[in-house]
Amino acid sequence: MAKKLITVNVNGKAQEKAVEPRTLLIHFLREELNLTGAHIGCETSHCGACTVDIDGQSVKSCTHLAVQCDGSEVLTVEGLANKGVLHAVQEGFYKEHGLQCGFCTPGMLMRAYRFLQENPNPSEDEIRHGMAGNLCRCTGYQNIVKAVQYAAKKLQEPVTA
């Protein structure tokens, strides 16, 4: 089976690699690019721990082939912080204690990041539905909802010089 040459922009950096067609995006990120933030959880598109952003949409990278990303822009949790400054969703999870073991957190952060662009001022109910594709077995979700609310508020604050 011939490898395919793909060019993917990951966290702002063009990556040109030859991949086997069966390579899943999650393995490409973790093993080819050493970006181990996205986690392998259920491997069946249920848990959301592998969630990344592809061309402005949340996608479960365990159920997406790397070859399908040829020409795409991928953002992973490693690309969220800007020059050492946490993104508002990261700050929210930290301030509101939105994690315990942390396994689901990279996926939660990436989904929250995209969700707040789809819906910048969500109700609690909309947050719960918007984050419904990400499972957490520790927190009971209360603090995750609070973390997203924190980030929503922070992102709406006027930028101060």
Strand order in the sheet with 13-19: 13-19, 4-10, 73-75, 51-54, 57-60
**Closest distance between another protein and the C-beta of residue 7, in Å?**
14
Which of 42, 81 has the CB closer to another protein? 42
| Interacting residue ranges for another protein, rule: CB under 8 A | 1-2, 4, 20-24, 27, 43-46, 48, 51, 57-60, 63-65, 67-68, 111, 115, 129-133
Which of 45, 95 has the CB closer to another protein? 45
Which of 90, 134 has the CB closer to another protein? 134
**Closest distance between another protein and the C-beta of residue 51, in Å?**
6
Which of 40, 155 has the CB closer to another protein? 40
**Closest distance between another protein and the C-beta of residue 67, in Å?**
5
**Closest distance between another protein and the C-beta of residue 82, in Å?**
24
